[in-house]
Each structure stands twice: as C-alpha cells, then as structure tokens.
Amino acid sequence: MADLWQNAMDHAVALARTAGAVVREALQDERKVMMKSSSVDLVTQTDQKVEQLIIQSVKDKFPTHRFIGEESVAAGEACVLTDSPTWIIDPIDGTTNFVHGYPFVAISIGFAVNKQLEFGVVYSCVEDKMFTARRGKGAFCNGRPLQVSDQKEISQSIVATEFGSIRDPETVDKVLSSMRKILCIPVHGIRGAGTAAVNMCHVACGCVDAYYEIGIHVWDVAAAAVIVSEAGGVLMDVTGGQLDLMSRRVLAASSRSIGERISREIEAFAPVRDDAPPPQ
C-alpha cells in the first residue's frame, strides 16, 4: 500500500504543476467571474476547468478513488469523507485573489484513506512554490525541509487570519472582535495571504506563528493540514479542542501553547458544516 500512496502523491504533484500553469496563463486574460453563495463567494471558469482536469486525470489513473472537490460540491455533489481513498481538491484556493490578480493563488490537493490524511500538496503557482508533505515523512517546499517557528512568546508572534466570506453584521462583529483581542494581547502583527492553504504553509515555513479562520471549507485546509503537522506544527479547533475537518473551523500553530493562547481570544461561531445534508 505504501508505494501506492507514493504513486498517488507523485501524481498529485505533477497535476498541481500542470494546473498551476493553466492558472498562471489565465491570470494574463480577462476573467469571467460568477457568484456562488453570495457576492463575495466567487468562482471562475478556470476554477471549474482546473477541477475537471485534476479529477479526470485521477479517475483515469485511480478509477476506484473518490473525490471531494470545491466546484463539484458547489454543483450539488455530496461532501462526505468515507474510508475510501479520497482526493480533496481546491482547484484555486484564493479565487478572490485570482480574480483581482493578487499574487497568492494555490492549487490544493489533499488525500485521505480511512478518514486519515496521507499527503498534502499545495502549489502556490504565482510564486512557483510547491509545498508537499506525506504522513510521517516530513514537509517540504521545492524540496527543502520545512520547520515551524520555535517562538514561545505570544507577544512576539505574528498571526495570520482572514475576514472570510460570511458577511452578515453579527458575524463580522465577531470576526473583528477576535482580531481586536488578538492585536491587543499584543502580538507583533496580523497578516493574511487571501488563501487558507498558503496561510497554513506560512505556519509550516515559520514566517507566521499561527493561523486561524472560521468559515473555511475542508478543501481549503486538508492538504495544508498535513504540511503543518509534518513541519512540527499543531492543528486544533478554534476553541482549542480537536480539529474537525468538516466543521469549517481551523487553528494551525507552531506549538500547542501558542495555539491555545490564541484560541482564548477567538469568538467562536459555527457555520453550516461541510457535511451537513443539503437543505430540503
């Protein structure tokens, strides 16, 4: 089995590279933007084309494997993680960045078996950075090993987060209140790349000490979760409890103590889960 997953991972890296070239080329052209759940939840033809390209290629090579893909779920497919080998795909993480030409855009491919993540590939294609990790075998960027920061002082930390795409005033108040409390600890600063996957890879690299967000989806974080943990980081729920990939909440940190300290400042709320049955 071990070799089979290595095969799958090699294929994921090759696909991420091909998809990245498609995305880079599309950045040169005018992009046709469509809305999904709201006017701030965007999709383009490139998201759909890249997801199809990845899924078709995996189906040809691994016909029994299953998929959770951002655009397939948007088109009505179920978002269910079973014990079967499952590819969890975000064809463009940072679609809003892509639409505006803001230069952090990633192809994110995670892979789980028996509900356990086996490998993650995140290709930040404008920067040409290929982040990879396989369970138990370390995390890498363009082949160089990654290690989270050894910062133990929250007051000397830098924290990544995003405003997210849930924009009702009550939710925005909670998001801003959490950021305010974290800024006032005080931490050195707050940053956000506009893609959950890249924010998590920044934790893995050690250039930020933690990242949290409520409102992300499983395809935004599955691949990068392996990269963070293989770089020595920890993953948890925003309350400090155990990470639940379908809960749409994530906190990734360089250490448990930094993560738990941040979790104490977050006003948690619970968006509709990714695996919730569709409304009747």
Site of interaction with ligand IPD (CB under 6 A): 70, 90, 93-95, 162, 164-165, 194-196, 213, 215-217, 220
- In the residue annotation, 90 being an active-site residue is answered as yes
The least distance separating ligand IPD from the CB of residue 222, rounded to whole angstroms, comes to 12
User: Which 3-state string (H, E, C) describes 33-95?
Assistant: EEECCCCCCEEEHHHHHHHHHHHHHHHHHCCCCEEEEHHHHHCCCCCCCCCCCEEEEEEEECH
Q: Which is nearer to ligand IPD, 98 or 119 (CB)?
A: 98
Q: Which is nearer to ligand IPD, 106 or 113 (CB)?
A: 106
The least distance separating ligand IPD from the CB of residue 93, rounded to whole angstroms, comes to 4
- Give the residue ranges of the annotated binding site: 70, 90, 92-93, 220
Q: What is the distance of C-alpha 224 from the center of its chain?
A: 5
- In the residue annotation, 95 being an active-site residue is answered as yes
- In the residue annotation, 3 being an active-site residue is answered as no
- In the residue annotation, 214 being an active-site residue is answered as no
- Give the residue ranges of the annotated binding site for Mg(2+): 70, 90, 92-93, 220
In terms of Cβ atoms closer than 10 Å to its own Cβ (0-12, 13-18, 19+), residue 87 is: buried
Which residue among the candidates 86, 95, 161, 195 is catalytic per the annotation?
95
- In the residue annotation, 182 being an active-site residue is answered as no
196-205 and 218-230 helices cross at what angle (nearest 10)? 10
The least distance separating ligand IPD from the CB of residue 5, rounded to whole angstroms, comes to 25
